[in-house]
């Protein structure tokens, strides 16, 4: 049981001022945790800070700036002396294809992957020194597992986060003297608007029926931690666990059966996939 969301424990949250990050901030504050919050949106972060009733430190900055991350570590340990939960929540989605939009590729990988590696390199040594139960939660995506076509850089970045977190979990669990664990949080369709784009890639302004609210994702996170889950895979109001399982199973069997890449979206396999999904 990974019981880290509790009174007087310390949580560091990146991308804390909106969406899943904001939901985590409010949820952890309600549990009595002490908080260290990072976001690039200073006004949103200040507004959130003003509404919290728990010890809290904030930092405005760019997650891809290593100096900002070093300052984040200093703030956490100078003020609270420990970190019990590191929530790497920042993520962006920029439109890309496998061979175009190079600037978007670089930005997506910098934010979604390399900043996570950077922040882990700074926090993990100190968390290991604590000798106290602690957890690292990295924000993944179902697109990093089934890798659908249409936004190559995002899928590549989130597939990389999955592998990174698996490798991290392996390394940490083989350090028997330490008490730090790693977990991959995989939301389903989730409001806020970043996840929902119209044909012109513009944000929608009202919530569809299908997505969960971010608060539901954080509730699932706590339940997953308490149940010692590494893969904390969330549902939504449309997708069931069985549907998720079948989609992931199909993706893996592309390799095993040597089907065309991403055969789920291949016209020759459309009928077979639909039959399998609804069997």
Q: Burial, 13: exposed, middle or buried (Cβ in 10 Å; 0-12, 13-18, 19+)?
A: buried
What tokens appear for 91 in the block? 């993520």
169 and 264 share one domain:
no
Number of domains in the chain: 2
What is the pLDDT tens value at each position of the chain, 279 positions in all?
A: 899 999 999 999 999 999 999 999 999 999 999 999 999 999 999 999 999 999 999 999 999 999 999 999 999 999 999 999 999 999 999 889 999 999 999 999 999 999 999 999 999 999 999 989 999 999 999 999 999 999 999 999 999 999 999 999 999 999 878 899 999 999 999 987 554 454 444 555 677 888 899 999 999 999 999 999 999 999 999 999 999 999 999 999 999 999 999 999 999 999 999 999 988
pLDDT in tens, 49-67: 999 999 999 999 999 999 9
User: Distance between CA 147 and CA 44 in Å, rounded?
Assistant: 32
Please indicate, yes or no, if residue 113 is contained in any of the structural domains. yes
277 by DSSP, 3-state: which?
A: helix
Domain that holds residue 68: 10-238
pLDDT in tens, 81-114: 999 999 999 999 988 999 999 999 999 999 999 9
163 and 151 share one domain:
yes
165 and 251 share one domain:
no
Please indicate, yes or no, if residue 118 is contained in any of the structural domains. yes
Please indicate, yes or no, if residue 5 is contained in any of the structural domains. no
Please indicate, yes or no, if residue 2 is contained in any of the structural domains. no
262 and 234 share one domain:
no
100 and 219 share one domain:
yes
Which residues have CB under 8 Å from 155's CB, separation 6+? 143, 144, 147, 148
């Amino acid at each position: 049981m990974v019981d880290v969301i509790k009174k007087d424990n310390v949580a560091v949250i990146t991308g804390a001022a909106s969406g899943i990050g904001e939901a985590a901030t409010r949820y952890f504050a309600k549990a009595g945790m002490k908080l260290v919050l990072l976001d690039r949106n200073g006004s949103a972060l200040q507004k959130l800070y003003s509404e919290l009733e728990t010890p809290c430190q904030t930092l405005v900055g760019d997650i891809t700036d290593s100096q900002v991350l070093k300052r984040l570590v200093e703030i956490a340990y100078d003020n609270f002396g420990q970190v019990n939960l590191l929530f790497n929540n920042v993520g962006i989605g920029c439109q890309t294809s496998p061979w175009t939009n190079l600037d978007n590729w670089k930005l997506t990988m910098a934010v979604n992957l390399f900043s996570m590696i950077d922040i882990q390199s700074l926090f993990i040594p100190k968390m290991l020194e604590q000798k106290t139960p602690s957890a690292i939660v990295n924000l993944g995506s179902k697109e990093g597992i089934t890798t659908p076509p249409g936004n190559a850089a995002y899928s590549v970045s989130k597939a990389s986060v999955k592998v990174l977190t698996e490798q991290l979990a392996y390394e940490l669990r083989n350090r028997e003297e330490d008490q730090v664990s790693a977990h991959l949080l995989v939301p389903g369709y989730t409001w806020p608007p970043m996840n929902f784009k119209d044909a012109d890639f513009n944000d929608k302004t009202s919530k569809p029926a299908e997505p969960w609210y971010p608060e539901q994702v954080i509730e699932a996170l706590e339940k997953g931690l308490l149940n010692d889950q590494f893969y904390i895979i969330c549902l939504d109001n449309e997708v069931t666990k069985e549907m998720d399982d079948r989609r992931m199973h199909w993706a893996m069997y592309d390799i095993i059966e040597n089907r065309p890449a991403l055969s789920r979206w291949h016209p020759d396999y459309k009928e077979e996939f639909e039959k399998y999904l609804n069997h």
